[in-house]
Structures are given as C-alpha cells and as structure tokens.
C-alpha cells in the first residue's frame, strides 16, 4: 500500500523484525532497505537514483537517511548485493555520517565501491564475502547465495533472526548458460524454501515481461553480424559496470582483428578493476590508448564508451553534439548495448537522432538483439515463488506497475492476497510471530545532490528552476513614498525568456503604478504586502495577455 494516512509505527514488539525502505520502492534506483531487530539495524544496499528532466541541475538523488540519522551507532553493517550505482552509489554519503560502518559485499562489488570511496577520501571497513558464506553480525545471521545478473559477483542474502527468515534476492535473473558460468543458486533458494522462508523480497523490474529473459550468449551472433558489416569504426556505448557486455565486445574484436580503446573516466576505471581482478579477459596487444587511434585504420578499431543512457556529459552525448575530439560519419557504426532506464527515453533518442544526423549507422535494442536484461522476467519469478514457497512476499526494485505485476504473479502461484505486501518508501512492515503486516509509515523524501550541496535543493527550488526554464522571468522595481502615498521611482520592469521586449510591457506599468498608489492611500505600508500586490497584478496581466506564467520577482523599497 502507499503512504496514504498511515500512522507512525508503534513500538516494535519483542522478538519482532521491522523492515522499511528509504528508497527503491516505486522507482528504479536508490535501493536501500533497513532491517531492525532488538534495537540493532542491518541495511541492504545504499544506491542512487539519476535525475529526470523535471529535476534540472540535480546530479544524483539519494535515499533519505532521516529515519536512521539519530541511530547510526545501531547499524551493524551494510550488505551490498552487487556493484551497480543504484545499489552502491550512495554509500559515500552514508559513510560521511559514520565512516566505520562495516560494508559486506563480493570482491568485485567492494573493489568498485572502494574506487568510488577513494574519490571521496573515505577509508571504509569492508568484509569480502562470497556465495555459500555465512556471517553473524549482532542478532542477524546472514547467508549469501549466488545470483546471475548483468554484473559479475551479484549476491542474494538470507537474513535470519529469532523473528524468522527473510530472503532478499537482490537483482537477479536465471540465465542457464551465463558467460561466467555462475548461475543463480536455485538449489540454495529451494533449500531455504524447504526450511521455511517467512518473507521474500523479490526483484520486480521485469515482472511485466512474459517468459524468460534470453541468455547473454544470444547476443553473440548479432554482434558478429555487426562486426562483419561495419565499414569503419565501431563505437559501443554501455554501462561502465556491464563487464559481461564489454567482454563480448572484446572477444568479437579479437575475432575480427580490431583493436579496442576505452573512453570515459568511469569506463576506464571499472574495466581496469575488472581486468586486475580477473573478471575481464583481454588478449595481449588488443587494448590500445585512445591517443593511438589516429594511427590505426578506422576499420581496425573498436571504441567502448559511456553514454548509453543519453547522459549529457557522457562520451556518446558529447560525440553526438560535436563536443568531443572524436567525430563520427557515414562509415561509422554505433552500438547502444543497453536497455532504456525509465525516464531516459527522450535523452537517448536525442543522442540517437544526433548521431543519425551525422550519418552514423545506429544499432540499438529497438532494431537488434544487442542487449538482454539483467532482471528476471515473469516466468523466472514464477519459478522462484514455486521453489521458495514464501509465507509472505514484498515486491521490491521497480516502479508501481512492476511491483503490482509481481504481486499478480505471486497470486497466480497460490500465495494468498493478504500475504502479499505492496509498500512505498517509508512504509513499515513488521514480521511478528510468523506474520508480516504493514504497521505504519516513517516520513521519507528525496535528497538531491547538486554539485557540492547535499539536501539543500528542495522540491520548491526545483519547481522554481522549471518555471525559469519553461516560462521565463520578470523583475519589477519601484520606490514608494509612504507619507505622500506615491510611487517616486519606477515602476521599472525587465523580462527574460518570455520573448517580449520592454515596450510590450508598457501598458502594464501604469496599472502597477495605479495599484500601488491606491493601496498606499488605503494605509498599506508593509513592503511585503505591496510586493504581493504587484506580483498578483503582473501575473494576472501576463497570463491574460500572453498566456504565460513566468517567475515574478517584485522589489518595493521605501524612498
């Protein structure tokens, strides 16, 4: 259920487990879930959400740490299911509040995170875990299970307390022939199910997609055809964390006699980490520096870069805008080897159109199988429900339509509707005496990162930015004599972004002067009241005459 009019949650009964999300429910990103037992806290994931066009100037959106800010000493650890930004990107901001919180994750996950923490000058306390490993931290007994995803080393986690067993799948799919031969541990899921899983938190992203997600290996013949047809350079845009996809491109480049270069800071950093840890296999002599590309024929090169989501400062966007040293033309082939994150569609199509205008041949998921999802489709979710046999279900990681679709799948395999919990961020679920139920709501919101500012940007400020960008700005100044009830200077009006010159505003000036002097004669002397009067008069005139609603900033001073 949504927040609605839910009350504050009651005190957690003795022996009960409390679960609430600070982000990640009803959205794709900023995943962070808090588990509380006997006064101690366990956190699973701590990620970021990337802004939409309706959030101008925002760099990142964080989970709201407010409900735990006064309880940092109670945190036993943060468990990280895998190394994607929507699961680890907010960790540096949490560690700014308490730097010694232990971080548990797989080897690759922690390596990617530590590179990020180094940029923030944070030295973290980490514990490398792997599938099959068990750890006990405070009242929480943890078991880690392998899951297949679009990044290596992803993990599910089973959390056991005296209140019961909770299984959190993290992001997963069921590729039976993955590139790294590391399949989702369905045996482990079934073993936990046979012993009894009281609550299953399960990935919802692809719940609307029927059947099973194709294997990563299905992409190979498509990439092979792209390499065979390409006349000049091949530029592949991918997530900087999609090591499996990059490995496929490297293998294809080696097969077709092309050299490979990384472009983009995050791509270079992540691929160096993956190579050093052995997750990425690169034949000797295949990799070249981007500076050496000019000495090679175009049909012997492959560039792997960031920007598959249309990010304005990423490499591919800059190439499309002719704001990068690398330029493209009719002989070049661009491959967008990723899916579209909801909300990024316009930005991605803008990049595709820009590259098409330059003559490049564009290959993307809409016209070729160059990407498969990392999230389980409906058939896979149904399979997991049947082997885990959870007593209760909490769909996570998805927009509301995805979570509702996931709930319908759970109903379809026979899980009772009253044992399927649909919750929003901040909605509290308590597991007490083997029964999970929604018991209240803790206030959470969005925390915006804008440059070096964290949390200072508000929804009101974003609304102001949108008005400035879409409707323009008007400032109007006047000086008044409170004794003689007259306007002695002005009014002067200046407009920006409306497409109107000052002459077009001249009929308004006399109206503003008359309104001010009438108000002064009636005894109004408060500058704020006079400013509000001017704002209303200007707004009414602009709306009625030009059908615009700009930001209006009146300044009234006493002469």
Q: Are residues 221 and 199 in the same domain?
A: no
Q: Answer with the one of 363, 393, 409 that is the final residue of a domain.
A: 363
Q: Are residues 387 and 509 in the same domain?
A: no
| Token code pair at residue 53 | 């066009």
Q: Answer with the one of 345, 363, 381 that is the final residue of a domain.
A: 363
Q: Are residues 321 and 449 in the same domain?
A: no
Residue 9 belongs to some domain of the structure: no
Q: Are residues 502 and 417 in the same domain?
A: no
Q: Are residues 359 and 388 in the same domain?
A: no
Residue 368 belongs to some domain of the structure: no
Nearest to 326 by CA among 293, 362, 285: 293
pLDDT at residue 58 in the model: 63
* Residue 523, domain CATH: 3.10.20.580
Give the chain's largest Cα–Cα span.
Answer: 88
Q: Are residues 522 and 430 in the same domain?
A: no
SS3 content of the chain, % helix, strand, coil (to 5): 35, 25, 40
Residue 310 belongs to some domain of the structure: yes
Q: Answer with the one of 363, 389, 415 that is the final residue of a domain.
A: 363
Residue 193 belongs to some domain of the structure: yes
**Chunked mean pLDDT (size 10), the chain, 559 residues:** 78 96 92 97 93 62 92 97 94 95 97 91 94 97 97 97 97 94 97 98 96 93 93 89 91 95 89 93 92 89 80 75 84 84 71 87 85 94 98 96 97 96 96 94 84 56 55 77 77 73 73 80 78 82 76 78
Residue 498 belongs to some domain of the structure: yes
Apex 239 CA angle, 231 and 148, nearest 5: 115
Q: Reduced to 3 states, what is the DSSP secondary structure of residue 80?
A: coil
The total number of structural domains in the chain stands at 3
| Token code pair at residue 399 | 């927009």
Apex 408 CA angle, 404 and 413, nearest 5: 150
pLDDT at residue 349 in the model: 81
Residue 10 belongs to some domain of the structure: no
* Residue 101, domain CATH: 3.60.15.10
Q: Are residues 110 and 234 in the same domain?
A: no
Q: Are residues 346 and 377 in the same domain?
A: no
pTM of the model: 0.82
Judging by beta carbons within 10 Å of its beta carbon (0-12, 13-18, 19+), is residue 500 exposed, middle or buried?
Answer: middle
Sheet holding 60-62, edge to edge: 60-62, 447-450, 453-454
| Token code pair at residue 326 | 């690398």
CB of 533 closer than 8 Å to CB of 515: yes
Displacement of CA 97 from its chain's centroid (Å): 21
Measured CA to CA, the distance from residue 144 to residue 135 in angstroms comes to 9
Structural domain of residue 511, as residue ranges? 472-558
Which helix (DSSP H) or strand (DSSP E) does residue 181 occupy? none
Q: Are residues 220 and 319 in the same domain?
A: yes
Apex 275 CA angle, 269 and 279, nearest 5: 115
pLDDT at residue 123 in the model: 92
Judging by beta carbons within 10 Å of its beta carbon (0-12, 13-18, 19+), is residue 39 exposed, middle or buried?
Answer: exposed
Q: Are residues 194 and 68 in the same domain?
A: yes
pLDDT at residue 379 in the model: 97
Q: Are residues 176 and 313 in the same domain?
A: no
CB of 311 closer than 8 Å to CB of 347: yes
Beta strand 140-146 pairing with 60-62: unpaired
Measured CA to CA, the distance from residue 506 to residue 511 in angstroms comes to 9
Measured CA to CA, the distance from residue 293 to residue 365 in angstroms comes to 27
Q: Are residues 196 and 242 in the same domain?
A: no
CB of 441 closer than 8 Å to CB of 426: yes
Sheet holding 234-237, edge to edge: 259-263, 301-305, 234-237, 333-336, 361-363
| Token code pair at residue 221 | 């013949």
pLDDT at residue 454 in the model: 65
């Amino acid at each position: 259920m949504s927040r609605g009019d839910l009350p504050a949650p009651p005190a957690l009964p003795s022996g009960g487990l409390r679960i609430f999300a600070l982000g990640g429910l009803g959205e794709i990103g900023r995943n962070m879930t808090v588990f509380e037992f006997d006064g101690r806290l366990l956190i699973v994931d701590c990620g970021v959400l990337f802004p939409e066009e309706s959030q101008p100037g925002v760099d990142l959106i964080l989970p709201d740490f407010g409900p735990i800010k006064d309880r940092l000493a109670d945190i036993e650890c943060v468990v990280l299911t895998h190394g994607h930004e929507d699961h680890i990107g907010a960790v540096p901001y949490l560690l700014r509040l308490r730097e010694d919180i232990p971080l548990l994750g797989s080897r690759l996950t922690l390596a990617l995170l530590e590179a990020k923490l180094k940029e923030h000058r944070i030295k973290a306390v980490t514990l490398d875990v792997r599938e099959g490993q068990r750890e006990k931290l405070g009242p929480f007994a943890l078991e880690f299970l392998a899951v297949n995803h679009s990044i290596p080393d992803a993990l599910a986690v089973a959390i056991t307390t005296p209140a019961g067993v909770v299984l959190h799948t993290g992001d997963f799919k069921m590729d039976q022939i993955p590139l790294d031969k590391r399949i989702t541990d369905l045996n482990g899921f079934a073993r936990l199910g046979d012993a009894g899983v009281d609550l299953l938190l399960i990935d919802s992203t692809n719940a609307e997609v029927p059947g099973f997600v194709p294997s990563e290996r299905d992409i190979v013949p498509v990439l092979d055809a792209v390499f065979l047809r390409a006349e000049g350079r091949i530029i592949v845009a991918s997530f900087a964390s999609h090591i499996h996809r990059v490995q496929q491109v490297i293998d294809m480049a080696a097969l077709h006699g092309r050299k490979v270069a990384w472009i983009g800071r995050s791509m270079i950093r992540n691929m160096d980490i993956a190579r050093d840890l052995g997750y990425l296999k690169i034949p000797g002599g295949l990799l070249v520096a981007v500076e050496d590309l000019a000495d090679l024929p175009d049909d012997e090169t492959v560039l792997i870069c960031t920007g598959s989501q249309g990010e304005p400062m990423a490499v591919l966007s800059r190439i499309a805008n002719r704001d990068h040293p690398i330029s493209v033309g009719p002989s070049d082939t661009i491959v967008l080897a990723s899916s579209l994150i909801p909300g990024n569609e316009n930005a991605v199509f803008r990049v595709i159109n820009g590259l098409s205008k330059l003559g490049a041949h564009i290959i993307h998921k809409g016209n070729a199988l160059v990407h498969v999802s990392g999230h389980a489709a409906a058939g896979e979710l149904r399979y997991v429900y049947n082997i885990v046999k959870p007593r209760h279900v909490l769909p996570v990681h998805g927009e509301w339509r995805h979570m509702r679709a996931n709930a319908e799948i759970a109903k379809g395999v026979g899980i009772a509707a009253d044992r399927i919990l649909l919750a929003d961020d901040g909605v509290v679920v308590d597991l007490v005496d083997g029964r999970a139920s929604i018991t209240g709501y803790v206030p959470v919101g969005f925390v915006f990162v804008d440059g070096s500012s964290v949390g200072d940007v508000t929804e009101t400020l974003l609304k102001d930015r949108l008005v400035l960008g879409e409707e323009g700005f008007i400032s109007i100044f006047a000086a008044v004599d409170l004794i003689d009830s007259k306007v002695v200077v002005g009014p002067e009006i200046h407009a920006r972004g409306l497409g109107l010159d000052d002459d077009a505003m001249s009929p308004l000036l006399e109206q503003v002067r008359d309104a001010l002097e009438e108000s002064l004669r009636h005894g109004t002397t408060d500058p704020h009241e006079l400013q509000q009067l001017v704002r209303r008069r200007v707004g009414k005139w602009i709306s009625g005459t030009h059908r615009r609603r700009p930001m209006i900033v009146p300044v009234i001073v006493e002469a």
